[in-house]
Amino acid sequence: MVDSTLPLLSRGYAWLPDLSRRKGPGPVRTRLLGKPAVALRGPAAVTFFYDEQHVRRRTALPEPVLSTLFGQGAVHTLDGQEHRTRKALFMSLLKDAAGVAALAEQVGEEWDRSAKEWSGRSGVSLFDEVSVLITRAVCAWAGVPLGAGGKGGAGAAGSRGAAAARGLADPDDPAPEESEARGTARDLVTMVDGFATAGPRHWRARRSRRRQEQRLALLVEELRSADGERSRTGRPATAVEAVAAHRDADGELLDPRTAAVEILNIIRPTVAVTWYTVFGAHALHRHPALREPLASDRSGYARAFAHELRRFYPFAPFVAGHAPADVEWHGEPIEEGTLVLLDLYGQNHDPELWNEPYVFDPERFTGREPGRDELVPQGGGEASEGHRCPGEDITLAVLGTLLPRLARLDYRVPEQDLRIPLNRMPTRPRSGFQITDISTK
């Protein structure tokens, strides 16, 4: 069987759906990175994939993905009780309704402040500016100092962030400089942008991760060595403190580098909501009639719009794991060690599940929430037990905050390249979505 690694890299999101169309119903067999692979999709496949008797994640993520997107030793690489114990940390932080609401409010405040500043400029790249404002908000919420690392990155900025995380910051202390916010945002975006490619984007992502891990590991060490609010109350005050205090299934604290990895796995996916926000601008540009109901958010329209963004626009192409033993899928044998792929992009565009799947239509979600294993842009299954992203609540809350504000913003979209190439992973409008003549009215 011919290896499909190069076709995957050249075809991107279209690779697996194209294979499925040629194969017809049932699993698709191929090879990736020299290993036998089988691809599945559909709600029943989601249930199968997230059963640890059928698929394990520990050895499935290739080193290039770990060294860019997730980080070595991340929760994504664990199975069994080790995974459940580490995942409980994320569930406590990312599924807390009050905490999610506080983060969404902070993002809204950053948007309002930024939008006023945009109105005084000739134009902005929406992608770049949204990434910075979300970075500011999530870092303040999590107790993470801003800074791109390097000289002073884990020094002055790190000390200020550690003090803030302990509740000891001087309220009159000036906000971090713009360059620190943009440097942090640039590193977080670069980690996401380079995980599924080779060449310069990939090596930039590695450098960004290494820089951020180094400075956040120092922050964890500072927090653990200081007598702060956590030691007095016994309850972490911020996400950073919670990660620093977390004990794994063996009862041991995370080593500082792994703790830094998991801090990044809180803030990096939040900043990745930038992609969906810009896709929202793209959808509004293509379908201007949707602007009014989104701006007014009648009957929860913003949430329906956010669901449709996550269904229609491409982000993660698939997730993968290994069969831990010989298993069977609907009568089809899957041998031990086979790479099992869950086709996320294909499922979100499957005509068996969605009427006119390549039409952008938020109405398909008005008045209803999608089934757990029906809409799977961030994986499926139960977040508490499996590998589904626990940050979906934050994704939807942040989009619910930003999308109506975007619809209410007055701006012009100049001539530019708004194509979204499917052979680029992760993809986005080529131009970054430039806007001019901005007014907050």
* Overall average pLDDT of the 214-228 stretch: 88
Q: How many CB atoms are closer than 10 A to CB 112? A: 12
Q: How many CB atoms are closer than 10 A to CB 385? A: 14
Whether 160 contacts 173, CB under 8 Å: yes
> What number does CATH give the domain 5-439?
1.10.630.10
Strands in 49-188 per DSSP E: 123-125
| pLDDT tens per residue, range 330-379 | 999 999 999 999 999 999 999 999 999 999 999 999 999 999 899 999 88
Whether 334 contacts 38, CB under 8 Å: yes
51 in helix, strand or coil? coil
Lowest mean pLDDT among 105-114, 150-159, 227-236: 150-159
Backbone angles phi, psi at 308, to 5 degrees: -70, -35
Checking if the pLDDT of 168 tops 50, the result is no
DSSP state, residue 286: H
* Overall average pLDDT of the 385-405 stretch: 89
Strand partners, 434: 125
Q: What is residue 294's predicted lDDT score, i.e. its pLDDT?
A: 97
d(CA 216, CA 231): 20
pTM above 0.85, yes or no: yes
Q: What is residue 357's predicted lDDT score, i.e. its pLDDT?
A: 96
d(CA 154, CA 177): 15
Q: Which helix (H) or strand (E) holds 117?
A: helix 97-118
d(CA 201, CA 209): 12
Checking if the pLDDT of 300 tops 80, the result is yes
Q: What is residue 232's predicted lDDT score, i.e. its pLDDT?
A: 47
Strands in 21-119 per DSSP E: 28-32, 35-40
Q: What is residue 281's predicted lDDT score, i.e. its pLDDT?
A: 98
Q: What is residue 385's predicted lDDT score, i.e. its pLDDT?
A: 67
Q: How many CB atoms are closer than 10 A to CB 296? A: 13
Pair of tokens at residue 340: 């099992």
| pLDDT tens per residue, range 96-154 | 999 999 999 999 999 999 999 999 899 999 999 999 999 999 999 999 989 764 333 33
DSSP state, residue 379: B
From residue 41, alpha-carbon distances to 46, 136, 343, 364 in Å are 7, 37, 5, 20
